[in-house]
Amino acid sequence: MQHRLIAATLAASALIASAGGAVLAAPPAPAPSATTATGVYTEQQAAQGASLYAERCALCHGASAQGTWEVPPLTGRFFANWGHGSVGALADYVGRAMPQMAPGTLEPQEKVAIVAFLLKSNGMPAGAKPLPADAATLGAIMIEPVAPKATH
């Protein structure tokens, strides 16, 4: 009788421990897991993004993302705005605000393919795994400008 009570108590505390664990296993802001310098998209994905870009973005941002009249470029000084932010923030902006005449019309997979193309256009290397569409993973990838940092 005694040992049955102990077993029940242990089972109950294991249940509480696992419930507590589940809460701890969902941190609100994951630590940065990767940067764009480590190859966070595939060549195939960037190629898909390039054709989407040509269809949906080039009209305003220019055929090679150089910018046009009153529309900012998506290369060069562009990354001064986004450098050291997350790929998630960039993807989120693109998904919510672009294309400017029809914001919110990109499918999640289209959005990340276009972002992969933008990373490639800015000299970030391709890798073995495609850029995922889920916001938590994207938010943990930091944009790291490619130009060598000044030594001081």
Residue ranges binding ligand HEC (CB under 6 A): 56-57, 59-61, 71-72, 74, 78, 81, 93-94, 98-101, 106, 114
What CA–CA distance (Å, rounded) separates 113 from 92?
13
For 144, counting Cβ atoms within 10 Å of its Cβ (0-12 exposed, 13-18 middle, 19+ buried), the class is middle
CA-wise closest residue to 138 among 103, 105, 114 = 114
Q: Is 67 left (phi over 0), alpha (psi -120 to 50) or beta?
A: left
Residue 75 or 137 having the CB closest to ligand HEC: 75
Minimal distance in Å, beta carbon 113 to ligand HEC? Answer: 10
Residue 16 or 84 having the CB closest to ligand HEC: 84
Residue 20 or 72 having the CB closest to ligand HEC: 72
Minimal distance in Å, beta carbon 129 to ligand HEC? Answer: 21
Residue 101 or 147 having the CB closest to ligand HEC: 101
Minimal distance in Å, beta carbon 131 to ligand HEC? Answer: 14
Minimal distance in Å, beta carbon 142 to ligand HEC? Answer: 16
Q: Is 104 left (phi over 0), alpha (psi -120 to 50) or beta?
A: left
